Amino acid sequence: MRTVFEKPDAIALVAEVFRECGYEGASISTITARTRLSKGSLYHFFPGGKEQMAAEVLAHVDAWFAREIFVPLETAEPHQAIAQMWTAVEDYFRSGKRICLIGAFALDETRDRFAKPIRSYFERWTNALEAALTRNGTPAGDGRQLAEDAIASIQGALVLARAMADETIFERSLGRMRLRLASHAT
Partner DNA sequence: CATCGTATAGACCGATCGGTTTAGTAACGC
Partner DNA sequence: GCGTTACTAAACCGATCGGTCTATACGATG
Interface positions with a copy of itself (CB under 8 A): 20-25, 99-100, 102-104, 106-111, 115, 118-119, 121-123, 145, 148-149, 151-160, 162-165, 169, 172-173, 176
Identify the residue among 11, 17, 45, 96 touching DNA (CB under 7 A): 45
Q: Which is nearer to a copy of itself, 36 or 180 (by Cβ)?
A: 180
> Does residue number 108 form part of the binding site for DNA (CB under 7 A)?
no
Q: Distance between CA atoms of 156 and 48, rounded to whole angstroms? A: 33
| CA 122 to mean position of chain CA atoms | 9
Residue number with CB closer to DNA (41 or 155): 41
Distance from the first to the final alpha carbon of the chain: 62
Task: Check residue 8 for interaction with DNA (CB under 7 A).
Answer: no
Query: Based on CB atoms, which residue is closest to DNA, 40 or 141?
Result: 40
CB under 5 to 8 A by kind: which of a copy of itself, DNA, none does 163 bind? a copy of itself
Cα 179 to chain centroid distance, Å, stands at: 22
37 binds DNA (CB under 7 A): yes
Count of CB atoms situated within 10 Å of the CB of 170: 24
Give the residue with the Cβ less far from DNA, 13 or 185: 13
Q: Among the candidate windows 43-51, 72-80, 81-89, 146-154, which touches DNA by CB under 7 A?
A: 43-51
Give the C-alpha separation, 68 to 110, whole Å: 26
Contact assessment for residue 22 and residue 110, using Cβ atoms and an 8 Å cutoff = yes
Closest to DNA by CB, 43 vs 64, is 43
Distance of CA 1 to the CA centre of its chain: 35
What is the spatial distance between Cα 114 and Cα 118, in angstroms, rounded to a whole number? 6
